[in-house]
Amino acid sequence: MKKRQILVLIVWVNTLFLTSLIPNIISQETSGTEPINDKFTVEWYHTFGGSNDELAYSLVQALDGGFGIVGSTESYGGGESDLYLVKTDSKGNFQWDYVFGSPYYERAQDVIMTPDGGFVILGEFSDTPLYGGTHSNFLIELDKEGVMRWNQSYQESEITNAAEFVQTSDGGYVLAGASFPDISLLKTNAVGIKQWNQTYKSPDREFINNTIGIRTKLVQVSDGGFIITVDPTIYTGGPPLSDHFILKTDNNGAMQWNKTFGSKVQVNDLTPTSDGGFVIFGEIIQDEWEEWIDRSSKCLCLLVH
């Protein structure tokens, strides 16, 4: 079986510049350029990794124009799987990497750029295989050269299975996790020390028995509070088995309201608006949809494409 490595692919689509991060089974070639068709041209690509599997989960563009790619490695480090960050220049050329782990399972789920060019990484730890059991989380900050500044870990009772986080207006961080069958937020200060955590009961109790995976989207809005969307999914590729819902909290994580969309809705992204509301983009079975919601959770407009 071919090994899996990290592939960074840069594509020009007419005048639109896109960056894509693709974990895949690839050939032994490690860099190059390649035309796709008359509208798509790969400007360059590079692969990173060793003799075993590497998987990429998130990417951020660095202040110097390069990229920070985070995921997991089975080629380097001392565990079954270790957290892995690769730093490249603006053309995808390798500059340095960073491995963090234990004899067990670690991986990076998300990464944020710091104002001085460093990286804060959301990691996940488990003493069972990565797709089994409950996973605790940790944060690591690296400087722009890949030297660790600090790391903080969090108990399973505080937050578990966090796959997304945001930097907050006060310089801290908020993590969003799925502590089955419920959803949780954890707020830290600028060096990852916990300030508060909150758990929210799902309005759909079928989460308990039916939900295998949960996707979350998280943003901070203009009043300092947070919007989190919760999308129950299954890894077999079928439709969600439970209702999608969205909740709004204040700046201390206290829930202000929540709304349920139904099991035929899949949320792909959300973004805050300047008036304190937000826009959700997603799918309804075969259709795409956009919904504008004001700060009081009232739907202002719904477009189905």
SS3 call for 14 = coil
Residue 80: predicted pLDDT = 85
Residue 84: predicted pLDDT = 96
Measured CA distances, 198 to 124, 183, 223 (Å)? 19, 8, 18
Read off the pLDDT of residues 254-288 as tens digits, 9 standing for 90 and up. Answer: 999 888 766 566 667 778 888 777 777 766 655 55
Q: What are phi and psi of 207, to 5 degrees?
A: -50, -35
Residues 6+ apart with CB under 8 A from 245: 202, 203, 204, 229, 230, 258, 259, 260, 261
Q: What are phi and psi of 135, to 5 degrees?
A: -115, 130
Report which secondary-structure segment, H or E, holds 39.
none
Read off the pLDDT of residues 173-185 as tens digits, 9 standing for 90 and up. Answer: 999 987 656 788 9
54/51 Cα distance (integer angstroms): 9
Q: For the beta carbon of residue 298, count every other beta carbon within 10 angstroms.
A: 10
Instruction: Answer yes or no: are the C-beta atoms of 56 and 71 closer than 8 Å.
Output: yes
Residue 182: predicted pLDDT = 75
Inform me whether the pLDDT recorded for 130 exceeds 80: no
State both tokens at 10: 């840069």
Read off the pLDDT of residues 2-58 as tens digits, 9 standing for 90 and up. Answer: 455 555 554 433 322 333 333 333 333 355 655 555 667 788 889 998 888 999 999
Among 128-142, 149-163, 279-293, name the most confident range. Answer: 149-163
Q: Which architecture, in CATH terms, is 160-305?
A: 7 Propeller (2.130)
Nearest to 249 by CA among 183, 188, 167: 183
32/55 Cα distance (integer angstroms): 20
Residue 27: predicted pLDDT = 31
Read off the pLDDT of residues 218-252 as tens digits, 9 standing for 90 and up. Answer: 999 989 999 988 766 544 444 444 566 788 999 99
Is the whole model's pTM more than 0.85, yes or no? no
Q: Taking CA 209 as the corner, what is the angle to CA 164 and CA 237, rounded to the nearest 5 degrees?
A: 60
Mean pLDDT, range 157-164, rounded to an integer? 85
246/217 Cα distance (integer angstroms): 9
126/116 Cα distance (integer angstroms): 31
Q: What are phi and psi of 91, to 5 degrees?
A: -100, 10
Q: Where are the domains of the chain?
A: 1-154, 160-305
Residue 12: predicted pLDDT = 36
Residues 6+ apart with CB under 8 A from 238: none
Residue 295: predicted pLDDT = 61
Q: For 205, which DSSP code?
A: T
**Neighbour-count burial of 196, counting CB atoms closer than 10 A to its CB (0-12 exposed, 13-18 middle, 19+ buried):** middle
Provide the greatest CA pair distance for the chain.
54
Residue 126: predicted pLDDT = 84
